Amino acid sequence: MNNICGLDFGTSNTISTVYQNGSTVMVPFEGNKSLPSCVFFPFKEIDNPIYGDVATNTYVNNGYGRYMKSFKRILGTPFFDQGTNLKPGKNILFHDIIVDFLKHVKNKTEAFTKKETDYVVVGRPVRLSEGGKNDDNSGIHQLESILKEVGYKNYSFLEEPIAAAYYHKKSLENKSLAIIADLGGGTCDFTIVEINNNDLSILSTSGVSIGGTDLDSYFALKAFFPELGYKSVDKFKGLALPDSPFRNASDWNKITTSLYTFKTEMLVKKMVGNAKYPEKVSQLQKLVTDKNAHSLLGEIEDTKIKLSETEGLNFNSKFIPNASNLNITKDLLENAIGNSVHKILKTSSECCKLAGVEEKTIDYLILTGGTSKTPFIKELFKETFLNAKLIENNSMDSVALGLLEKAKMDVM
């Protein structure tokens, strides 16, 4: 085997790494080292999907078609076998969506290396779903089936925080303990490792199916969706309006699987007629009928990122026209995501218990993944592992780079 690859198929972004001319290289996609995990199906060329930033830009600039993002999270869920309608009369299975996306990644990789991939190590979360071990196993079986159809002849899986540990191994001192926290878009995963005589021992792994996309959803519901009528009441009995359309509109996957349906359109139309504040719910109705929920959620995600650098800002969106200059603060964000962040922290502590170590004995705290960039989250981890040296270099790439390190160990 002379052409190896590390494949980090992520909820938000995908990275492919190769070993070329004695060096580790990240395959360029559209001039970048990662490919956003999203797809756009143009209605005029429904069988020729577009991927990555080009897909997002086409959709945002009034592209006439169907947009999907973060479809990795469908693995291990009931929606995987149900599929989704691209347009009337055109249904597609999520299996096929992911196959085509990864074929695109494989083709780009092999065009870059000018060789067929002989062996690939694929990253996987510690927990693929919250449905229990059986659902988690079904997700892995689904991914195996996908990899075979994509055309990978030889492959293996490696848990993502362990991959990051392989990459950072050279930075850790002998006889030290480290926790690797891989805080991604779909899951947050942990591993405790011990370095002894240059050997890396895995003491424990743990994970939770909460990630950055969930935080986006909670933030949307708390800070923005009340302007669309979330938590408001009907004009007859003062009862709360159904919340399912709001929850579906705030979730990247449920937008794809549940929001843009005739059933939801009829429910929201009825909600407008019953609402005490119909001017708010009518904005939700327009969001659904015009299929703009992805665009609004993208703006909310951008706002979350901007709050890393400021205490507050004014939010303006054509998708919530009745609420111009909405004041959004960092405190509001932290309040919206606080419970979920503490569940993530609890999972890291459980990982320590599984390893038989205490948080205060950890020498290194290694943070990876886009969610680790949120200052609120980073500070809580630093407080939890107060004696640990923080390492966060190559935080967006270390999993992919570590997967290639494992591939090199396997074949060389």
Sign of CA dihedral 244, 247, 249, 252: negative
Residue 129's pLDDT is 52
Query: Which of 320, 335, 350 finishes a domain?
Result: 335
Residue 188's pLDDT is 95
Assign residue 72 the CATH number of its domain.
Answer: 3.30.420.40
Phi and psi angles of residue 304, each rounded to the nearest 5 degrees, phi first = -55, -45
Amino acid at 346: K
Task: Evaluate if residue 131 carries a pLDDT over 60.
Answer: no
Residue 136's pLDDT is 58
Query: Which of 308, 335, 362 finishes a domain?
Result: 335
Query: Would you say residue 165 lies in a domain?
Result: no
DSSP 271-308: HHHHBSSHHHHHHHHHHHHTT-HHHHHHHHHHHHHHTT
Query: Would you say residue 305 lies in a domain?
Result: yes
Based on the domain organization, do 405 and 379 belong to the same domain? no
Based on the domain organization, do 151 and 268 belong to the same domain? no
Based on the domain organization, do 268 and 367 belong to the same domain? no
Based on the domain organization, do 28 and 9 belong to the same domain? yes
Query: Would you say residue 18 lies in a domain?
Result: yes
Give 404's Cβ-side CA count (13 Å radius).
23
Q: Which stretches of 80-154 are assigned E, i.e. beta strand?
A: 84-87, 90-92, 119-124
Residue 31's pLDDT is 84
Query: Would you say residue 166 lies in a domain?
Result: no
Based on the domain organization, do 294 and 242 belong to the same domain? yes
Considering the chain, what is the average pLDDT of its residues? Answer: 92
- pLDDT tens-place string over residues 275-330: 999 999 999 999 999 989 999 999 999 999 999 889 999 999 999 988 888 999 99
Residue 313's pLDDT is 94
* SS3 category, 194: strand
Residue 128's pLDDT is 65
Query: Would you say residue 167 lies in a domain?
Result: no
Based on the domain organization, do 234 and 274 belong to the same domain? yes
Based on the domain organization, do 64 and 113 belong to the same domain? yes
Residue 132's pLDDT is 44
Judge whether 107 and 143 are in contact, CB under 8 Å.
no
Query: Would you say residue 274 lies in a domain?
Result: yes
Based on the domain organization, do 85 and 233 belong to the same domain? no
Span 75-94, average pLDDT: 86
- pLDDT tens-place string over residues 394-409: 989 999 999 999 999 9
Distance CA 156, CA 406 (A): 10
Residue 134's pLDDT is 44
Number of domains making up the chain: 3
Phi and psi angles of residue 384, each rounded to the nearest 5 degrees, phi first = -70, -45
Distance CA 256, CA 320 (A): 21
Based on the domain organization, do 38 and 88 belong to the same domain? yes
Which range marks the domain in which residue 240 is found? 213-335
Query: Would you say residue 88 lies in a domain?
Result: yes
Based on the domain organization, do 153 and 42 belong to the same domain? yes
Q: Which stretches of 185-299 are assigned E, i.e. beta strand?
A: 188-196, 199-208
Query: Would you say residue 299 lies in a domain?
Result: yes
Based on the domain organization, do 207 and 217 belong to the same domain? no
Distance CA 329, CA 125 (A): 32
Based on the domain organization, do 45 and 103 belong to the same domain? yes
